[in-house]
Structure 1
């Protein structure tokens, strides 16, 4: 167990932003209200997931632009934007614009790999280049270069009455240091460290050196920091599904426990050809969850977290969970609310 002199420094949360196809505005409004609540409760950060062709947030940058105008302090992140769907130059423009609008609060998290169900969507996404697209780390490198101010063109200057820059505009100082990589493998962890990114490690990892989730996650964190210029000071955020029940109603407790039980079988062994491992959801009183976290080898290695909210709950459930995290669980981990 970590000594009490090592408190949790940054407490965040992650939401998928589900909505009903018949009333998408209500779902998006719920997401905005949840982030506003998070700021009032003193959370340090709020993160949104990215879902394409589903009933979740398909445009997290646009959502965070709206959130930036309804909050003033809380950091805003994406966990994560899958770059296989993106043009790095255009995304760099969007990220810099929202970072400027937010006053330097944006924390973009990204990942690589082919888009989900690529064979079914490639003709809509890349009708002429589907077979030649590169979905590897080079795509992240291009984004980093543009965000960090490297030239995007060999043309600049004045043409008529228009002025052109050779860099992505606007330039947002500091954004390049707030870029995160969502990695679940040793290779990704090392790459992120070598390229000076921050590391988002979630409730899903690849079983490479062990079949113990905490040990695997710990190895990723240490591999990342071993390659990062900042060493042990390099930023890592852990994202587990955490559901405190301190102020939950009996009906809510039953729902939460059923949700976790339904997902528990996948945590018993590595899943599929990629040997992916899933962490169990932590459900119960904050005091018990704190003990479980303190016993988690990877949690003891970090000082910031972004606890993931469950996918399919109601707005009132998220209010209860966030309130308990901020007022019960956070303090039990040594955290103090911001602001």
Structure 2
């Protein structure tokens, strides 16, 4: 059994060919797709965060709105760039969104990827400390967030407050119990996956990672997941961690599917460079259901993960993206034992 959700980047473009022509379209359609996915029986609605781009950016208003419109589906991010975040303010936003959603928030964080502008986090008021890299800063912000999410008091109360205080040091409010265990780290290397395990975060492994061995992407990703679980066990955590992978998967069951994705050429890994590091990008899958099932059976990382996030082409509209999700749930998941 696997949890199956969708991951949307929330692209929008004023182009006449786009079904999502404005930021308002991207936000409102994201809410509608989450509602539709829940009705179809999907397990998760996840959203990517990119700054300075025509994509989803500020996640918490969207997460809270999705939480208010749904009742069962997990609501998450994949991922929030922690170079841009104030950990304490983020803890308040996350606590509020999680309470609105009834404890369904699954927050994916990361050190971020190359952005639209140079050192965009500086415009948000953040800069690495002396001797730190921007990745170090992201991890520092993350550790601060994890600490305050424990819900322990740390701030000395004013002796003459406007409102009465409970006894002792004060914590951030609103606090949502259990959210600390629903924080994920988007790891691009084995080392950062092991770091996440030691801190007790779940693992999100995306469609790219550092090319550490030259092996196929899904093999390297499966090894990353196993290294993460070994580090988790060594850290002595008592709960079972969760692991997700993201894939572009399209079951060709209609003429429209074949028109959009029938000539898909993402049938093999690609090599590129991210921050001057050689990276391997996972393939896309697009085929008739029987062929698609056979292809997916060979993906070692999907087999290792408990959660699969389907990246959706959100600019094709809510109705079509709901169809994409439904086709996987109906024609593919049962044959692979995921349902």
Residue number in structure 1 paired with 2:17: none
Query: Which of 213, 237, 251 is matched with 1:244 structurally?
Result: 251
**Which segment is superposed worse, 147-156 or 100-109?**
147-156
TM-score, reference length from structure 2: 0.86
- 1:1-339 → structure 2 map (5 Å cutoff): 8-20=1-13, 23-113=22-112, 116-117=115-116, 119=118, 121-126=120-125, 129=127, 135-155=137-157, 159-163=161-165, 166-228=170-232, 229-230=236-237, 233-246=240-253, 248-249=254-255, 251-258=256-263, 260-261=264-265, 263=266, 267-271=269-273, 273-310=276-313, 312-336=315-339
Q: Tell me the CA shift for residue 16 of structure 1.
A: 1.5
Q: Distance in 2 between matches of 1:52 and 1:235?
A: 27
SS in 1 for 2:78: strand
Q: Distance in 2 between matches of 1:144 and 1:126?
A: 21
SS in 2 for 1:110: strand
**Which segment is superposed worse, 302-311 or 25-34?**
302-311
Could you say if the C-alpha distance between residues 277 and 174 of structure 1 is closer, same or farther in structure 2, counting changes exceeding 3 Å? same
Q: Distance in 2 between matches of 1:319 and 1:269?
A: 31
CA deviations on 1:48-96 (whole Å, 9 max, x unpaired) are 1112111111112110110111101101010000011110110011001
Equivalenced residues, count: 323
Q: Tell me the CA shift for residue 252 of structure 1.
A: 3.4
| Aligned-residue CA RMSD (Å) | 2.5
SS in 2 for 1:298: helix
Q: Is the 8 A contact 1:152 1:166 kept in 2?
A: yes
Q: Distance in 2 between matches of 1:319 and 1:16?
A: 15
Q: Distance in 2 between matches of 1:74 and 1:316?
A: 18
Q: Is the 8 A contact 1:83 1:112 kept in 2?
A: yes
Q: Distance in 2 between matches of 1:49 and 1:194?
A: 25
TM-score, reference length from structure 1: 0.86
SS in 2 for 1:275: strand
Q: Is the 8 A contact 2:314 2:321 kept in 1?
A: no
Q: Distance in 2 between matches of 1:156 and 1:75?
A: 38
Q: Distance in 2 between matches of 1:224 and 1:108?
A: 18
